[in-house]
Structure 1
Amino acid sequence: MDFKQKKVILWSPPRCLSNVFCRSIETLKKTKCIRNLFSGPYYFGPNHPCHIYAPLLDSQLDLEGLSVKDLTYEQMKALVTADYPDVDLVFIKDHPHCLPESLYQDLISGAFASFIHTFLIRDPERALYSNYKASLSQQLIGSNLDPPSGGFNEMYKFYNFIKEKQGTTPVIVDAADLQTHPDETMRSFCKAVGICFDSNMMSWEPAPFHGHYNVWKADWHQQVSQSTGFIKTKPGEQKPVPLYEMPSDVVKCIEDSRVYYTEMRKDCIKPLF
């Protein structure tokens, strides 16, 4: 393995534009992108703690020849830290709500010691509204959101763990900046983690979004598969989120999540003009 190889993990709650972020990173040469490995043990593994999905069939799994019984946290750690030769950047994205707290220490020590942990946040109104609509289309069992907490509190807990244990403030990107100033925000992110920015990161060809769990492709990944770049918006031009369309428990989750979002927003990197 090249000793100069970068290893970066992007953590975010669902529906925070993390997949389109990955699409941008994938345009870089000699890059290996790994998505949602830790989601496997959480939703589908032999001891999965979350039961909102029907059992996964081996035919619905596209993961290095493994079967559903192999979806354990130990196996996922091995895949993330495996040797990927001839690659300059290993880029992982996943959701902190899928991590048991017992795994936190493992993710900053041993084979993970060289990994750079980063975070992507989004206004909870927009993230959880999108989450709510997608969860409805999936007809998830017993929940209006996936996860029911929205994922912001788990992210904040893991963020504070990283911040305390490593003694530095992790890189945080706000999805709002990606939408209003995508070029400048990706430049800032690349500089912060030591990646060479390439202007080609701003556009790409539509292509099927490769995910390890095919059960999510139709509803969760359709839009990013059809994308050709970041959808740029002007500050303040997005339509208000129709909170009246959502159940009271989802609105309450948005209110609770805003506390965590607001705290992390204070430490966000700024677009690089």
Structure 2
Amino acid sequence: MASKPAKQTRIFVWCWPRSISTAFEKCLSFVEGVQTWHEPYCVAFNGELMANPQAMEPGSPIAIIFEQFAAMMKTIADQPNEFSDGRFLSADKFTFPNIKSMLEEEETAEGKKYIVIKDLATAVMDRVDCLPDVPSRHTFLIRHPHRFLLSQRKMILRVSNHQGDPADFDMFNSSPMLRDSFYKRDGMHFLWKYVQETGKDPNPIIIDAEDLMNHPDKILPKYLDALGIPFKEKYLTWDESEESLKTWKGSLDQVVIGKRMGVFEKAFKSSCFMPNTHTTPTKEDLTQDIMNVVGHILPGYEEMYENRIKPE
């Protein structure tokens, strides 16, 4: 289908979890003329999963986390919270077809020229029909799989309140938002190829998370220039307050739950990119659950890495 004309440029930022994507999203939200959308497709993906009775067994770690989510969502619906007076919507608004329609609509807030949508590639890889039919640029924020998978495992281990030996923990069986089958299909690499082959974006932009953290003064100007957005030195730092998040769009439930569970808290309070001096973990540092999937996504990462914006 041919793209519809649009007054505002849609800029997608696709990522894996634990790739400093929310800090990058907050950074971009301070760029003049930007309206931010926070993970709309992820909300739809999770909503379909939570509505599927086959997704869990009674008493399983997944079922327990489902119950925690349900209790939190009821609290969010019944009581005001720190983001209630923002632009966020209830989670039930986020179905895949509805997201497509919302992202095709022009932003009404004054002065907005760019609509930045940060999301997980795995959430949309089976629903590319629900990408908006408007001209869009696509960014891929990559990170070495050893890094993001170990970080994600650490976070899920904490959220799941695992009581046994951490070595025996399998994060893919302990969270309703994870399935090892999705990690055995490289959603980032698939989507990168898809937008090129379909003409949705013949020249998608790739940024490596470590490059961004260690060289923001070089990566951010090159990135904005590739998008045709003037760079300003002030974009390298931003207000650490969470007040700015109230201008974002997305699911109120997801943002509040993510903050309360510690998933977004550090990024929400960020004010700059912090250098990462740790070396990339080796294969010997990986746990068995990660070993079961990493081979499926490492080749795609390596190909994309060669095509990234480089700091030099």
Q: Does 1:263 align with 2:303?
A: yes
Q: Secondary structure at the match of 1:161?
A: helix
Q: Cα gap change, 1:151/1:121 in structure 2, threshold over 3 Å: closer, same or farther?
A: farther
Worse-matched range after superposition: 163-172 or 90-99:
163-172
Q: CA deviation at 1:240?
A: 4.9
Residue by residue, what CA displacement relative to the aligned partner does 1:26-48 show, whole Å, maximum 9, x if unpaired? 11123210010011111124875
**Partner of 2:232 in structure 1?**
198
Q: Cα gap change, 1:152/1:88 in structure 2, threshold over 3 Å: closer, same or farther?
A: farther
Aligned 1:165-176 pairs, distance under 5 A = 165-166=198-199, 168-176=202-210
Residue by residue, what CA displacement relative to the aligned partner does 1:168-200 show, whole Å, maximum 9, x if unpaired? 231111112102211110111101111111211
Letter in 1 for 2:116: F
What is the rounded CA distance, in whole Å, between the counterparts of 2:96 and 2:133 in structure 1?
14
Q: Does 1:95 align with 2:138?
A: no
Question: Of 211, 228, 244, which aligns to 2:271?
Answer: 228
Q: How many pairs are equivalent?
A: 264
Q: CA deviation at 1:229?
A: 0.3
Q: Secondary structure at the match of 2:10?
A: strand
**Partner of 1:23 in structure 2?**
26
**Partner of 1:251 in structure 2?**
291
Q: Contact (CA 8 Å) 2:15, 2:119: kept in 1 or not?
A: yes
Q: Contact (CA 8 Å) 2:125, 2:191: kept in 1 or not?
A: no
What is the rounded CA distance, in whole Å, between the counterparts of 2:183 and 2:229 in structure 1?
30
Residue by residue, what CA displacement relative to the aligned partner does 1:2-54 show, whole Å, maximum 9, x if unpaired? 96532201111111111111111111123210010011111124875666551
Worse-matched range after superposition: 250-259 or 13-22:
250-259
Question: Of 140, 158, 168, which aligns to 1:137?
Answer: 158
Question: Of 8, 18, 39, which aligns to 1:5?
Answer: 8
Q: Secondary structure at the match of 1:44?
A: helix
What is the rounded CA distance, in whole Å, between the counterparts of 1:66 and 1:229 in structure 2?
27
Q: Cα gap change, 1:249/1:205 in structure 2, threshold over 3 Å: closer, same or farther?
A: same
Q: Cα gap change, 1:70/1:5 in structure 2, threshold over 3 Å: closer, same or farther?
A: closer
Q: Does 1:157 align with 2:190?
A: yes
Letter in 1 for 2:290: V
What is the rounded CA distance, in whole Å, between the counterparts of 1:16 and 1:36 in structure 2?
14
Identity of aligned residues (%): 21
Q: Contact (CA 8 Å) 1:9, 1:92: kept in 2 or not?
A: yes
Q: Cα gap change, 1:106/1:65 in structure 2, threshold over 3 Å: closer, same or farther?
A: closer
Q: Contact (CA 8 Å) 1:179, 1:232: kept in 2 or not?
A: yes
Q: Cα gap change, 1:197/1:48 in structure 2, threshold over 3 Å: closer, same or farther?
A: farther
Q: Secondary structure at the match of 2:117?
A: strand
**Partner of 2:44 in structure 1?**
41
Q: Cα gap change, 1:64/1:182 in structure 2, threshold over 3 Å: closer, same or farther?
A: closer
**Which sections of structure 1, spanning at least 5 residues, go unmatched?**
none
**Partner of 1:121 in structure 2?**
142
Q: Provide the TM-score with structure 2 as the length reference.
A: 0.74
Q: Cα gap change, 1:48/1:190 in structure 2, threshold over 3 Å: closer, same or farther?
A: farther
**Which sections of structure 2, spanning at least 5 residues, go unmatched?**
57-61, 78-83, 161-170
Q: Provide the TM-score with structure 1 as the length reference.
A: 0.83
What is the rounded CA distance, in whole Å, between the counterparts of 1:132 and 1:6 in structure 2?
35
**Partner of 2:128 in structure 1?**
104
**Partner of 1:216 in structure 2?**
258
